[in-house]
Amino acid sequence: MNETTTIRFIGLDVHRDSIAIAVAIRDGKPAESLGSVPNDVPGLIRRLSRLGPAESLWCCYEAGPTGFGLARRLNDVGIACEVIAPSLIPVQPGARVKTDRRDAQKLAQYLRSGDLTPVHVLDPATEAIRDLERARDDAKRAERAARHQLSKFLLRHGRWFEGRSTWGPAHLAWLAKQQFDNKAQQDVMNDYREAVEMATARVSRLTERLVERVAAWDKASLVTALQALRGVDLISAATLVAEVGDFRRFRSASELMSFVGRREPPSGPDHAHRQRPRAPDPGGVGVALPEAATNEQGDPRAKRPGVGAGSGDRLEGAASASQAVVPSDGTRQASDSGGDSGGAGVGGVRLGDCPGGGAAGGMSRGEAERRVVECPSSRDQDRRDGRPGRDVCTDRGNPRRTLGPAPLVARTPAL
């Protein structure tokens, strides 16, 4: 095979000031280190062009603080470049020596053998929205911490609010009346209150900016379509779209739940005590989904700002926009348990569905009660499979106990 057709697998160990380069070809030999170059994209492109035509080069580097800029620039000039998930890179037992040169060689060799898992590279506009919603999430964390510090300071001094809900108008009025005889403690009280007010103002400011930017985003129609799901408001929908990117890259609901960090662990006696589900990420989708479920604990007909008074208002005009999440081949994607997705929901995730069947919404109460018995994942099926039973949710949202914990079922976009 001549030089123009030989594929060269290039590993890049990218740092702020330098990039280590290693190259491997399909000859079974270890990757060769080519040294390091300054972290200058034009200079790196010139260095890579010496190895062969752009179509014969295949590069990769680990995801990290350097971002996706390098991958975009290399792809723009015709050099294939992937960003690799660091946590999924194979680790050799006993290999404790770690250098930039060795890291680049390892990436090149694993890229050649196909043992690397790339991450989804967002387009610049989506990445900007993701940065904004993550900044808002940081502000919410700071607000939560400030509120916690104030409430625990008052609790240490035997003061607590006895109203129904905290941080509402009544609670804030009660906080304004709290006075301490000791001037030092009053200074602490004033400082904590000021920190809470500043954090709340920061959250409100970022929320307004996010609403404005999403309206001008090219994926605004998809954000609107996702709000047809109960509990999903604009912030949750924008978080889902910005973090997930393209829903079509997930072939099943299990893959989406693995990405979120909420996949059901393997069932059966051999796996029950050996494997635990991965904890959800502290922010992003791992928080958006539980918050969406919490949003609808009250009256589902209650009007939410920017969404509409009822399910009919939320669904109106959303079908055409939601086509962006339908697979290109027009097929419907369902969870691994099989069955029709059911319901009239639009977009990304359906929580509380009966495995192998549709959601309880859209059917009468009697039908929903019967579906609890007819669900293929109910007690009889589990006993035949030698597995413990699971809870099955009715349309009222109350689990009906069988023999064990209920699985978390989610569905990818299906229209």
204-237 pLDDT per residue, tens = 999 999 999 999 999 999 999 999 988 899 999 9
User: Are both 255 and 396 inside the same structural domain?
Assistant: yes
CA atoms of 192 and 207, how far apart (whole Å): 23
User: Are both 289 and 347 inside the same structural domain?
Assistant: yes
User: Are both 282 and 356 inside the same structural domain?
Assistant: yes
Please give the structure tokens belonging to residue 377.
């994942």
Helix axis angle, 69-76 to 41-49, nearest 10°? 50
More confident residue, 321 or 55: 55
Please identify which residue in the block is written with the tokens 């108008």.
169
CATH classification of the domain holding 102 = 3.30.420.40
Domain assignment of residue 25, yes or no: yes
- Do 267 and 254 contact (CB within 8 A), yes or no? no
User: Are both 44 and 180 inside the same structural domain?
Assistant: no
User: Are both 390 and 254 inside the same structural domain?
Assistant: yes
Domain assignment of residue 381, yes or no: yes
- Do 220 and 376 contact (CB within 8 A), yes or no? no
Q: Which of 64, 89, 113 finishes a domain?
A: 113
Burial of 16 (0-12, 13-18, 19+ CB in 10 A): exposed
- Do 237 and 167 contact (CB within 8 A), yes or no? no
CA atoms of 254 and 265, how far apart (whole Å): 10
Burial of 293 (0-12, 13-18, 19+ CB in 10 A): middle
CA atoms of 318 and 297, how far apart (whole Å): 23
Which residues, listed in sequence order, are joined to residue 12 by a DSSP beta bridge?
21, 61
The count of domains in the chain is: 3
User: Are both 271 and 319 inside the same structural domain?
Assistant: yes
pLDDT given at position 194: 97
pLDDT given at position 97: 86
Domain assignment of residue 414, yes or no: no
Q: Which of 113, 143, 163 finishes a domain?
A: 113
Domain assignment of residue 301, yes or no: yes
Please identify which residue in the block is written with the tokens 């946590």.
87
User: Are both 279 and 337 inside the same structural domain?
Assistant: yes
Q: Which of 180, 197, 218 finishes a domain?
A: 218
Q: Residue 359: is its pLDDT beyond 80?
A: no
Domain assignment of residue 12, yes or no: yes
CA atoms of 308 and 228, how far apart (whole Å): 9
Structural domain span for residue 394? 247-400
User: Are both 276 and 356 inside the same structural domain?
Assistant: yes
pLDDT given at position 286: 67
- Do 415 and 326 contact (CB within 8 A), yes or no? yes
CA atoms of 53 and 124, how far apart (whole Å): 27
pLDDT given at position 50: 93
User: Are both 291 and 380 inside the same structural domain?
Assistant: yes
Domain assignment of residue 355, yes or no: yes
pLDDT given at position 281: 52
Please give the structure tokens belonging to residue 402.
């069988």
User: Are both 132 and 108 inside the same structural domain?
Assistant: no
Q: Residue 334: is its pLDDT beyond 60?
A: no
> Residue 117 — pLDDT band, cuts 50, 70, 90?
very high
- Do 133 and 207 contact (CB within 8 A), yes or no? no
- DSSP-based helix, strand, coil % in the chain, nearest 5: 45, 10, 45
**pLDDT tens for residues 120-154?**
999 999 999 999 999 999 999 999 999 999 999 99
User: Are both 138 and 261 inside the same structural domain?
Assistant: no
Domain assignment of residue 236, yes or no: no
Distant-in-sequence, close-in-space partners of 220: CB < 8 Å, separation ≥ 6: 214
* Pick from 216, 260, 261, 230: nearest CA to 347: 230
User: Are both 253 and 348 inside the same structural domain?
Assistant: yes
Please identify which residue in the block is written with the tokens 């009906």.
400
More confident residue, 237 or 354: 237
Which phi and psi angles does 247 have, rounded to 5°?
-65, -25
**pLDDT tens for residues 277-286?**
455 454 567 6
Q: Residue 188: is its pLDDT beyond 60?
A: yes
Domain assignment of residue 410, yes or no: no
pLDDT given at position 362: 46
Q: What is the mean pLDDT of the chain?
A: 75
